[in-house]
Structure 1
């Protein structure tokens, strides 16, 4: 069973929903539209298999209080973006918008990034084209069903708050097949 030092994410091949376990808690989570992938590529819609540190939490202070967590936490600003242009020097890094290359907007109209944990995927150092913006964020839910992500892991808000309260800077997310 996973402890607060590990968050375990598992799924059957090709599934866009999986199980997230931390300590004694277990939740349904959303995964990438292509399910779990061994060899992550930019834009493939897959959630990468591997073990990833939780780098930091970013949160929308206009919508939520900073949640209880030992992770480094920073308010998201309207100018926050995440570079997803493989040939750019800031690939897979936080950037200030407007940015001259392609960059995902972190200040979203929907609630997906009201809480977003940056996972240490392809960031030490980034390899061009090996995937960017792999986050642990809030899920999009339609009719009670978690919708696939673009390659991230996502939870419902109440579940995310429970998980975050058990996270420390040493917590790792282990993603793999069940």
Structure 2
């Protein structure tokens, strides 16, 4: 029985993100027996996500794959498909563009985010299936699970954790792991 409970606690299919009790821009992330602090959107959470609202969507999202800056961060073993970040990688966040909410290559004129950030937030960056598989304009782009800013500053809508915490969690993650924001 003890072994069964231990395996159930390390269920790689579920990560739960709950808003922190005293600050709607912070969260508690739980996966199996691991619980860590996180930052979420500057506007807290929402059931009606829109591009640029600064909120983290209340929903269940599958982890699709991840990016890593191999020259800056050493990844622990993971079953999650990971790509090496290059300087020409961008993420389109312009709602009226056909490449909205997808990886694009520089040079790219429409509005976008650089994946190779100087601040290190995307040194490990996991892509969540928010508005990707069934893409709709203005529903929000680039909902990632990435690294935290100092002081757990809020994100633009993503979920962010510390490097050590990301390394603990990513060991048990795989494509299809579900991230539930409550």
The normalised TM-score by structure 1 is 0.93
- Tell me which residue corresponds to 1:10: 18
Equivalent of residue 162 in structure 1, options 161, 168, 174 = 168
- Tell me which residue corresponds to 1:76: 85
Distance in 2 between residues matched to 1:39 and 1:12, nearest whole Å: 20
The normalised TM-score by structure 2 is 0.91
Post-superposition offset of 1:126: 1.1
Larger radius of gyration: 2
Distance in 2 between residues matched to 1:131 and 1:94, nearest whole Å: 14
RMSD of the alignment, in Å?
1.4
Post-superposition offset of 1:69: 1.1
Q: What are structure 2's unaligned runs of at least 5 residues? A: 1-8
Whether the aligned pair in 2 keeps the contact of 1:67 and 1:165 (CA below 8 Å) is: yes
Whether the aligned pair in 2 keeps the contact of 1:2 and 1:21 (CA below 8 Å) is: no
Query: After TM superposition, where is structure 1 displaced by more than 4 Å over at least 4 residues in a row?
Result: none
Q: Alignment partner of 2:134: what SS?
A: coil
Whether the aligned pair in 1 keeps the contact of 2:100 and 2:141 (CA below 8 Å) is: yes
Whether the aligned pair in 1 keeps the contact of 2:64 and 2:176 (CA below 8 Å) is: no
- Tell me which residue corresponds to 1:23: 32
Q: Alignment partner of 1:117: what SS?
A: strand
Q: Alignment partner of 1:58: what SS?
A: strand
- Tell me which residue corresponds to 2:6: none
- Tell me which residue corresponds to 1:46: 55
Q: Deviations over 1:55-102 (max 9, x none)?
A: 111000111234321110110000000000000000000000121211
Whether the aligned pair in 2 keeps the contact of 1:68 and 1:161 (CA below 8 Å) is: no
Q: Alignment partner of 2:127: what SS?
A: strand
Distance in 1 between residues matched to 2:77 and 2:161, nearest whole Å: 16
The residue correspondences of 1:45-64 to structure 2 (distance < 5 A) are 45-64=54-73
Aligned residues: 173
Q: What are structure 1's unaligned runs of at least 5 residues? A: none
Distance in 2 between residues matched to 1:146 and 1:103, nearest whole Å: 24
Q: Deviations over 1:76-133 (max 9, x none)?
A: 0000000000000000000001212111101110110000000000112210000001
**Structure whose residues are more often strand by fraction:** 1
Deviates more, 1:46-55 or 1:3-12: 3-12
Distance in 1 between residues matched to 2:75 and 2:164, nearest whole Å: 14
Distance in 2 between residues matched to 1:67 and 1:53, nearest whole Å: 21
